[in-house]
Amino acid sequence: MINDPSPITNKDLDILLKWKLDSETLPGAVTKNKTTRVAKWIELRNAAGDDDDKPRPDWTEELEAKLQKIKNEELTLKDTAVGREKQKGVNDAFAMIVAASPTTKQALLARLSE
């Protein structure tokens, strides 16, 4: 559980909040600072705990078959939100390199070969 915000990064909080809010972007009020993000995460986490009283659909053989299929599939990092965020960062870096001036590219190459 996240009660102490110090060990979690803002990027991780973004991923958790986007996942819980089922959104590609965060509401403006949530993006302001880490304290606000942690408070929102705790609120969403606690609200999810209240869902335990809601009735669940009956577990069927079809659902069990889907679960077993998913459990047997190999899960790679690219299949996760973290993996998609990582790939987005790589894609953004490549886009910046392509758009860079020749001088900047040379400087980057020199730095990478150090």
Look at residue 61 and tell me if it is in a domain.
Answer: no
- For residues 90-104, average pLDDT: 93
Q: Domain for residue 23, yes or no? A: yes
The answer on 82 and 35 residing in a single domain is no
For residue 92, being part of any structural domain is answered with yes
Residue 38 lies in a domain: yes
* Residues 79 and 111 reside in one and the same domain: yes
Tens digits of residue pLDDT in 38-55: 888 888 878 766 665 566
Q: Quote the domain boundaries for residue 108.
A: 75-114
Q: Which amino acid is at 82?
A: V
pLDDT band at 2 (very low <50, low <70, confident <90, very high): low
Phi, psi of 73 (to 5 degrees): -80, 145
Residues 3-25, mean pLDDT to the nearest whole number: 78
pTM over 0.85: no
| Residues 49 and 4 both lie in one domain | yes
| Residue 105 domain flag | yes
pLDDT band at 28 (very low <50, low <70, confident <90, very high): confident
Mean pLDDT, rounded, for 44-69: 77
State the chain's mean pLDDT as an integer: 82
Alpha carbons 34 and 72: distance in angstroms, whole number: 37
47 and 1 housed in the same domain: yes
User: Which residue, 85, 90, 106, 69, is CA-closest to 13?
Assistant: 85
Same domain membership, residue 91 and residue 45 = no
Instruction: Indicate whether 66 belongs to any domain.
Output: no
22 Ramachandran zone, left/alpha/beta (phi>0; psi -120 to 50): left
What is the total count of domains within the chain?
A: 2
- What count of Cα atoms within 13 Å lies in the side-chain half-sphere of residue 63? 5
Mean pLDDT of 9-33: 78
21 in any annotated domain: yes
